[in-house]
Structure 1
Amino acid sequence: MSTWPMRTLRGLLCAVAAWVPSSAGADEFDVSKLSSNLDLASLSDADLAARSITVLRIGNVELTSGRIVASDPLVGPGRPALVRTVPPGDYPVTLYEAFGRIAAGSIRFAEGKPVRWELALIPGQDINALKGEEFFGYPVDAGLGCYMDADTYALIQEREKQVRAEKSSSDINYYDDVLAPELEANKDKYAMHRPVAGERGNVAIFWSGWGDGFYPVFWGLDAGGRPLVLFTDFGVTENADGRREPGGE
């Protein structure tokens, strides 16, 4: 089971104690105590601008199977896909910038404001197993987060083989040898990375807020339980507002 104490997150994720009884079911888990920023995914551009949030629309992520991986792309590209799936397709990825950092990221599957949010899980994770201030999320150790289809991992492995062959060496660094130029083109904030040219399957890569840590991912659902959005909060803002930094006066 992969969990992390909330104190490891900055701002609200550090300041709010999300105590959840171990007997609570998934429907009882109050995700609002993990994030006060979920409205970022639903506010208009004008409302976001008024809150000093910059919107970055970085393109569509190609989900060839509909099984989504949310992870650090350098440390955990082979992380298991989320349990909940979506229909295969190309879906827009939006980043929300505040205080010069990527505060959150989302994939939009359908229009509308979610009426319910739930913590995203991978196989083997059980909401009932959480204790005290624990929650599920993914670890970041390279300062980056990503969204991609589970099938795209095979393309990353293929790209690694290509680079090894080009360098005639087994010693490669995927960041230095592949990703760095793509990220630098966007001020190191994001890249829409295609591991193998001509092959469907890409990776939406983005700066993870203040860097390394452990970050929760949420599903925003409509009244019928259909996914409208997938949202990752990097703990940079509070209350979906970039006008005052968390903890500031």
Structure 2
Amino acid sequence: MDDRDEFERYNAENHPGFSRTGDQYRLTAADRFALRTLERPDTELLALTRKDTGQLVVTSGRLAVFDPLWPMEQWSDPLDLTVPNGAHDAYILTCEAGKWGECNAMFVVTFEGAQPVEWTAASFASSLKYAPDEPTHLIYVDAGTIGLGDLSSIDNLRNIVKRRIEAGEIGDEGDQLGEMNEQYDLVAQDYRVGDGPDNLLFIGTGIGDGGYPIYWGLASNGEPAALVVSFYLLEARFRKNLQ
């Protein structure tokens, strides 16, 4: 079963607000990503809390979602669609997750205030190149954290790390990541790259490692209005295991 079949199966069983039309996924219910509560078909009323994580600065129009424990050269695998340049609002939605307490359930970036009317699975450039018939929309992480940033911000950080290694300030990339982890609790943080506006966002993935789906929310003109990473905590079947 490929990723898109898995995506469709999860939506059919757990996301009644989605229906499939070709390769697009239309939100037929109210825009649940903007709600503070989510009413499930099993009558569970799940309270959501929105927590702003600052703004994501975009200068190249290309975004990458990555595992911060990957080598930095692997961070720059862009998603398939181009987004507007500028500073875009980002936030997480948290929910109660049984014994885990309050956890990140979803990460959202919005673009220029447009409203999503259709939803589609995102794809990584590498999967479109090497597996065009089965492109993946899942980000697999071993760090319990995802990173998100513009390609130019990632390149800027890599150049900073290279200069610091050459100057003997740090031994390798791992030292830089260690400093970042000490400076920021990588649960939901805005990391500034250098002295300019460039930044990266780091978001804790709910309750740990795994593969998490990435969706584009498309505006009525077909352009990206939102980017969403789901940590599965809003899915009824998954929540049964949290009691």
Q: TM-score, normalised by structure 2?
A: 0.74
Q: Does 1:245 align with 2:234?
A: no
Supply the distance in 2 between the matched residues of 1:128 and 1:170 (Cα, whole angstroms): 35
Q: Does 1:142 align with 2:143?
A: yes
- Please tell me the residue identity of whatever aligns with 2:160: R
Higher RCO, Cα 8 Å, sep 6+: 1
Which of the numbers 55, 66, 86 marks the counterpart of 1:60? 55
- Please tell me the residue identity of whatever aligns with 1:129: D
- Please tell me the residue identity of whatever aligns with 1:72: D
Counterpart in 1 of 2:133? 129
Mapping of residues 45-194 of structure 1, within 5 Å: 45=36, 47=37, 51-75=46-70, 77=72, 78-99=75-96, 100-123=102-125, 124-125=127-128, 129-130=133-134, 135-161=136-162, 163-164=164-165, 165=167, 167=169, 169-170=171-172, 172-183=174-185, 188-194=186-192
Deviation track 1:39-77 (CA, whole Å, cap 9, x = no partner) reads 44232x4x46x7321111011110011101112233265
Which of the numbers 19, 33, 53 marks the counterpart of 1:41? 33
Deviation track 1:62-96 (CA, whole Å, cap 9, x = no partner) reads 00111011122332652311121012110011111
Cα pair 1:114 1:228 within 8 Å, conserved: yes
Q: CA RMSD in A?
A: 3.8
Supply the distance in 1 between the matched residues of 2:30 and 2:124 (Cα, whole angstroms): 20
- How much does 1:6 deviate? 5.0
- How much does 1:16 deviate? 4.7
CA 1:214–1:158 in 2, change beyond 3 Å: closer, same or farther? same
**Unpaired segments of 5 or more residues in structure 2?**
39-44, 97-101
Counterpart in 1 of 2:99? none
Cα pair 2:76 2:154 within 8 Å, conserved: no
CA 1:38–1:238 in 2, change beyond 3 Å: closer, same or farther? farther
- How much does 1:4 deviate? 9.6
Q: Does 1:223 align with 2:229?
A: no
Q: Does 1:195 align with 2:193?
A: yes
CA 1:89–1:14 in 2, change beyond 3 Å: closer, same or farther? closer
* Equivalent position SS for 1:107: strand
Cα pair 2:161 2:173 within 8 Å, conserved: no
Cα pair 2:79 2:124 within 8 Å, conserved: yes
- How much does 1:175 deviate? 3.1
Mapping of residues 23-42 of structure 1, within 5 Å: 28-29=22-23, 39-42=31-34
Supply the distance in 1 between the matched residues of 2:218 and 2:32 (Cα, whole angstroms): 15
CA 1:168–1:206 in 2, change beyond 3 Å: closer, same or farther? closer
Q: TM-score, normalised by structure 1?
A: 0.72
* Equivalent position SS for 1:176: helix
**Unpaired segments of 5 or more residues in structure 1?**
19-25
Identity across aligned pairs (percent)? 21
Supply the distance in 2 between the matched residues of 1:88 and 1:171 (Cα, whole angstroms): 28
CA 1:15–1:88 in 2, change beyond 3 Å: closer, same or farther? closer
- Please tell me the residue identity of whatever aligns with 1:121: S
Cα pair 2:123 2:136 within 8 Å, conserved: no
Cα pair 2:14 2:235 within 8 Å, conserved: no
- How much does 1:248 deviate? 5.7
Equivalent residue pairs, number:
220
* Equivalent position SS for 2:239: coil
CA 1:57–1:167 in 2, change beyond 3 Å: closer, same or farther? same
Cα pair 2:25 2:120 within 8 Å, conserved: yes
- How much does 1:235 deviate? 0.9
